[in-house]
A = this chain, B = another copy of it.
């Protein structure tokens, strides 16, 4: 039996979702059906939410869990009448923070994900375009502007990692695929040599790589296990020979890979 969880906000809902997901992931023995409900920003929408919550309570036979970052008090009053069990995120933490900081909070909606509150918003968007333009070794003459250059075999996870670092943290991340040519000579391409301090390696287990490549080019030499094993072994040798830090992406998400890389390289994220 599933239990329904709602992430409700009068803004984007990102905070309610992130905290809610994090807390629910600690309960491995409960199955949740999770629903994100952003922009519940009128009394009318709140009444509709109450109906959805009550319907879920009836369907599940148990009250839904509500993670709530609604700021507006009229809307909160309506939501409070539902049959859900509410964890009120802002109410819980804002009062102690107000006391500690000696200031009242503004209780305004959706500030943390707005452009206005986000001093580095333009950096993030510029970094996304940088990552797109410098993806997959497409250009190498902008590497002087890179914060980091990811290298590794084709399809080991470089592109999503670069885009995540760009979007979340405004980090200018380029990536360069090491091809068979680079491997046979077991040396770094000339275009990368001047930027050795920016390089970071990604590697991956050969069977996982073969499975990813098979989706793109089924039954090709490129996707064969023996080819994948050869490339991964050669590239890992190159990383070791050149003393380039690297991590194995096989069992990690882009969030984890990015956080590990930035800790290892000592790159401070551009926080809002």
A: residues with CB less than 8 A from B are: 3, 11-15, 17-19, 21-30, 34-36, 38-39, 65, 69, 85, 87, 89-90, 92-94, 96-97, 100-101, 103, 105-108, 110-118, 121, 124-125, 128-129, 132, 135, 157, 159-160, 163-164, 167, 251-256, 258-260, 262-263, 268-269, 271-272
B90 touching A23 by the CB < 8 A rule?
yes
Which residues from chain B contact A272 at a C-beta distance below 8 Å?
21, 25, 34
Interchain nearest-CB distance for A149 vs B (Å): 18
A112 touching B21 by the CB < 8 A rule?
yes
B22 touching A69 by the CB < 8 A rule?
yes
Which residues from chain B contact A271 at a C-beta distance below 8 Å?
17, 21, 34-36
Which residues from chain B contact A35 at a C-beta distance below 8 Å?
268, 271
B163 touching A128 by the CB < 8 A rule?
yes
B263 touching A38 by the CB < 8 A rule?
yes
**Copies of this chain, whole number:** 2
Select A97's contact among B87, B90, B110, beta carbons within 8 Å.
B87
Interchain nearest-CB distance for A246 vs B (Å): 17
Interchain nearest-CB distance for A214 vs B (Å): 14
* Shortest Cβ distance from A9 into B: residue: B259
B26 touching A106 by the CB < 8 A rule?
yes
B39 touching A263 by the CB < 8 A rule?
yes
Which residues from chain B contact A107 at a C-beta distance below 8 Å?
26
Q: How far is the CA of A97 from the CA of B11 in the complex (A)?
A: 24
Select A96's contact among B17, B22, B87, B124, beta carbons within 8 Å.
B87
* Shortest Cβ distance from A99 into B: residue: B85
Which residues from chain B contact A39 at a C-beta distance below 8 Å?
259-260, 263
* Chain B CB within 10 Å, residue with most, of A14, A112, A272: A112
With contacts A14-B255, A65-B100, A115-B256 known, what are 9 further pairs, Cβ within 8 A? Answer: A12-B259, A13-B259, A19-B19, A21-B271, A23-B90, A65-B101, A110-B256, A132-B135, A160-B167
